[in-house]
Chains A and B, each alone.
Chain A
Amino acid sequence: MIILQPRKHVSLRLTIAVPILSVLVTLVLGGVIFALLGYNPVQALYEFFIAPLARPDQIGNLFVKACPLIIIGTGLIFCYRANVWNIGAEGQLILGAMGAGWVALSFPETESRFLILAMAVMAMAGGALWGLIPAILKIRFKTNEILVSLMLTYIAALLIDWVVRGPWRDPMAFGFPLTRTYPDAGLIPRMPLPGIGYLGQLHWGVLVAFIVAVAGWFYLSRMLGGYKIKLMGDAPRAGKFAGFHQGRVTIMVMMISGALAGLAGMIEVSANIGMLQPHISFGYGFTAIIVAFLARLNPMAAIAAGLVVALAELGGDAAQISMNIPKVVTGIFKGILLFMLLAGETLTRYQIIWIGRSQKSATTQKIEE
């Protein structure tokens, strides 16, 4: 029988070495799979990991790809730290994009700088509202927030589908399900870097993502509100004893993560698309769940985790385009990468202990007690 026992002490060397080892194992395994499928493994791995970073503008695009993942991942970390399982960030993202879109489309002529701020506020309100529903149902009727938030995602997807085909459709779009394009004041411009200038599609939203992650880290680790969240996640009885309300914390984290998902949706549309359409997200709301866990529920680490996952996404696209590697194979490769990172993470914190028969009875005793 195998058991995982927490390590008493986790050395810094191990913490650094294990992710590197995980990537190396992924490279070897992935290479074997590519070779078995008849692709040149070296070239495939190059397309996956090097090609997306070969040119400076591609590095900018990597950050653009990571931007929504970092923002949503930070929000999800708030939920997961409080032991509230929000799986519906994708729906909250869509509602946020719709809220922002409603503002942008309502003021087609404006040139005010406040438009983008109003859009951000409405996006966060829309996402927070969508996150509030599962929170209230959980508190009031003890429903499972995993199911409710997930189901609300499908409702959100149909909702945006309906508005872009119906009430908000651009009459000049030749019947395509698109809204009018946002006014320029509602778009997020590219961000010039000092001394470098524009870097690919790098836009101001990426800066927002960094700010969100750092602010989230500060809130969770330094502020009483963050302490409440962690307390409710780790020991709800102790939280109640301290005088905090579990329901309020649930509402707070669901609204925070909903608001951040909504903000990510607004940034995604305003920076990259410029109008609403049926599909505005490449599943960022779901991919961000992986980011949150890869970051070990630490918002600061969500920046790195978001970049790693974005790299895997871009690399998959690149490999599909340049080598005709089927999408499912790139999916498998991405899966192996994440699996190895998470397994490595687990083995950093736990050690595997193999116990024989005599000790086994001792352990089962404990379980049965």
Chain B
Amino acid sequence: MTTTHPAHKTSPPPLLAGFGITKRFGDLVANQNIDFAIQPGELHAIVGENGAGKSTFIKIVYGLLQPDEGHLEWQGKPVTFSNPLQARAMGIGMVFQHFSLFEALSVMENIALALPPDFPKQDLSALIARKSAEYGIPLNPETVIADLSVGQRQRVEIVRCLLQEPTLLIMDEPTSVLTPQETDQLFDVLHQLAKQGCAVLFISHKLDEVKQLTSRATILRGGVKVAEVETAKKTTRQLAELMVGDKVKGITADTKRKKGKCLYEVRGLIRPAFGPFDVALKGVSLKVHAGEILGIAGIAGNGQSELMSALSGEWRPDQNGMLFTEDTDISRLGPTGRRHLDLAFVPEERNGHAAVPSMTLSENALLTGYDEDGVVAKGVIQFDQTLAMAQRISKMFDVRQPSDDPLASALSGGNLQKFVVGREIMKSPRVLIVSQPTWGVDIAAAQFIRNAMADLARQGSAVIMISQDLEEIFEIAHSIAVLNEGKLSEIFESSKVTAEQIGLLMGESHDLTSGQIPPKTNRTSGKERGAS
């Protein structure tokens, strides 16, 4: 660990410091013994992959969560924030990744609603106009939120924080919803704030932005602080290495297999963003062959759910270009039509998407199995069949259940995940498309699920696995592509790339205006790719 303990600094005390912050959720240690310090006026980044503990940490700083161990100090004095109100009273402001504004109300009304009751509300309109102009992000207080772009909406949130004269501003993944121009403007605002003495805590996984904006970065991995670095002294590549770690040693995936027939191909898939938090898919192309597991890496929120909905047919494009076995265009088929062709899908969200918590396991087996022989006769569900189906799945996939046919909600997350993955694999699909197959699942169950997918591929099926877990991808995928900001990279053979190279692709910002990879990013890996 290259940490500098905050206590070493003698003068002046840091604005906010954390000592030995630990937070557990059940068996999971989300934050482990994290030391942290930020000085007044400092631009400080918290960097890490999904699940690294970033969110937990900032929730503790903002009073949304309480640490199990360790404590915070504000200007050298111990503090506890038992709720965000107390944190705000100290001068901490936070702009969330998904902001909560009332679309039908005006800028001023939204801000007035969010301000503390004792805040003087007369002349608020003028105050908003003045404050926003001062920071170069002019806002008309009378505009209705619905008429604003996402970037402008974020300004509303920022101005709301600024009105309370914060001394520490937390920005949670602020650039994920912004265009490059808006990002530049945001960085100007943050620089100006820092000059006036307001510290900014910037949470991001976009490493070049971290380098561009901040002076120091705390890097988290698996809930542990692995480094605190001066960003100017590290390259983006070094930051990526720290963020991802050297995870990959032995590749267990069998790479010597012969490449089979292409079973599923997507050509230039385009999907517009339908809501402010949707990620548009900008021409995604991929190919997966019989016997192959294609891992799609990437940090959550880069188009994974949008890609999944297109691959499963829950959303369908207007143009052609999704092919099954080279000759059948399935672009227009819904999930049922695609299932008829022996495709199977496991969406990421177990509760309410891949499974229905309020229904029994046999009813959940019916969810994707109602079209199979003998399950439904003349519109009447054959419950003996669905029950047998559910019990077969549970037996084969070692689903531990409290009774013969429990509600899905009675199962632990890992067991329900084994059930939904098992439900699809039991059909022996020719193509299995699965998103985050082991998210929030314990290690034993995760291993079980990975083995089952590897077995399926060995039997000649193709598997597309969208996953945030690089270790998982390197463990079973034969080929790897990275989804970043709605774009899919080329497909690499997993034996020919390293985790750092993939991590770099995951963490880079695309220049949206030109569609090109910025030259400063090292991309040698891209040249030596094999597949695609």
Assembly CA distance A234 to B353 (angstroms): 11
Are A238 and B367 in contact, with the CB atoms below 8 A? yes
Chain B residues in 8 Å Cβ range of A240: 314, 335
| Chain B CB within 8 A of A361 CB | yes
Are A242 and B381 in contact, with the CB atoms below 8 A? no
Assembly CA distance A369 to B352 (angstroms): 19
Interface mask (A220-252 → B, CB under 8 Å = 1, otherwise 0): 001111010011001101101111000000000
| Chain A CB within 8 A of B376 CB | yes
Are B356 and A234 in contact, with the CB atoms below 8 A? yes
Interface mask (B301-343 → A, CB under 8 Å = 1, otherwise 0): 0000000000010100000000000000000001111010000
Residue A222 contacts which of B83, B335, B380 (CB distance < 8 angstroms)? B380
Q: How far is the CB of A245 from chain B (nearest CB, A)?
A: 9
| Chain B CB within 8 A of A364 CB | yes
Chain A residues in 8 Å Cβ range of B349: 237
Given the known interface contacts A222-B381, A224-B379, the answer about A237 and B353 at a Cβ–Cβ threshold of 8 Å is: yes
Interface mask (B59-93 → A, CB under 8 Å = 1, otherwise 0): 10000111000000000000000111000000000
Residue A368 contacts which of B84, B357, B368, B370 (CB distance < 8 angstroms)? B84
Assembly CA distance A71 to B334 (angstroms): 36
Assembly CA distance A172 to B126 (angstroms): 74
Complex: chain A residue closest to B368, CB-CB:
A242
| Chain A CB within 8 A of B4 CB | no
Residue B367 contacts which of A241, A361, A364 (CB distance < 8 angstroms)? A241
Are B335 and A242 in contact, with the CB atoms below 8 A? yes
Complex: chain A residue closest to B352, CB-CB:
A235
Are B366 and A235 in contact, with the CB atoms below 8 A? no
Residue A235 contacts which of B82, B339, B356, B368 (CB distance < 8 angstroms)? B356
Complex: chain A residue closest to B379, CB-CB:
A223
Which residues of A from 196 to 212 have beta carbons under 8 Å from B?
none
| Chain A CB within 8 A of B345 CB | yes
Chain A residues in 8 Å Cβ range of B381: 222-224, 227
Are A364 and B83 in contact, with the CB atoms below 8 A? yes
| Chain A CB within 8 A of B291 CB | no
- Please tell me the number of chain A residues within 8 Å of chain B, measured between CB atoms: 20
Q: How far is the CB of B268 from chain A (nearest CB, A)?
A: 25
Are A238 and B354 in contact, with the CB atoms below 8 A? yes
Residue B379 contacts which of A225, A242, A243, A369 (CB distance < 8 angstroms)? A225
Which residues of B from 372 to 405 have beta carbons under 8 Å from A?
376, 379-381, 383
| Chain B CB within 8 A of A365 CB | yes
| Chain A CB within 8 A of B18 CB | no
Assembly CA distance A221 to B480 (angstroms): 45
Are B379 and A227 in contact, with the CB atoms below 8 A? no
Q: How far is the CB of A360 from chain B (nearest CB, A)?
A: 10
Assembly CA distance A241 to B424 (angstroms): 13
| Chain A CB within 8 A of B127 CB | no
Interface mask (A259-272 → B, CB under 8 Å = 1, otherwise 0): 00000000000000
| Chain A CB within 8 A of B359 CB | yes
Chain A residues in 8 Å Cβ range of B367: 231, 238, 241-242
Among A223, A231, A241, A361: residue with most chain B CB under 10 A? A241
Among B353, B354, B366: residue with most chain A CB under 10 A? B353
Interface of A with B (CB < 8 Å)? 222-225, 227, 230-231, 234-235, 237-238, 240-243, 361, 364-365, 368-369
Can you add 7 more A-B contacts, CB < 8 Å, to A230-B359, A241-B335? A234-B356, A238-B352, A238-B367, A241-B368, A361-B83, A365-B83, A368-B84
22 contacts between A and B (CB under 8 A): A224-B370, A234-B359, A235-B356, A235-B357, A235-B358, A238-B353, A238-B354, A238-B356, A240-B314, A240-B335, A241-B312, A241-B345, A241-B354, A241-B368, A242-B336, A242-B368, A242-B370, A243-B337, A361-B82, A365-B83, A368-B84, A369-B64
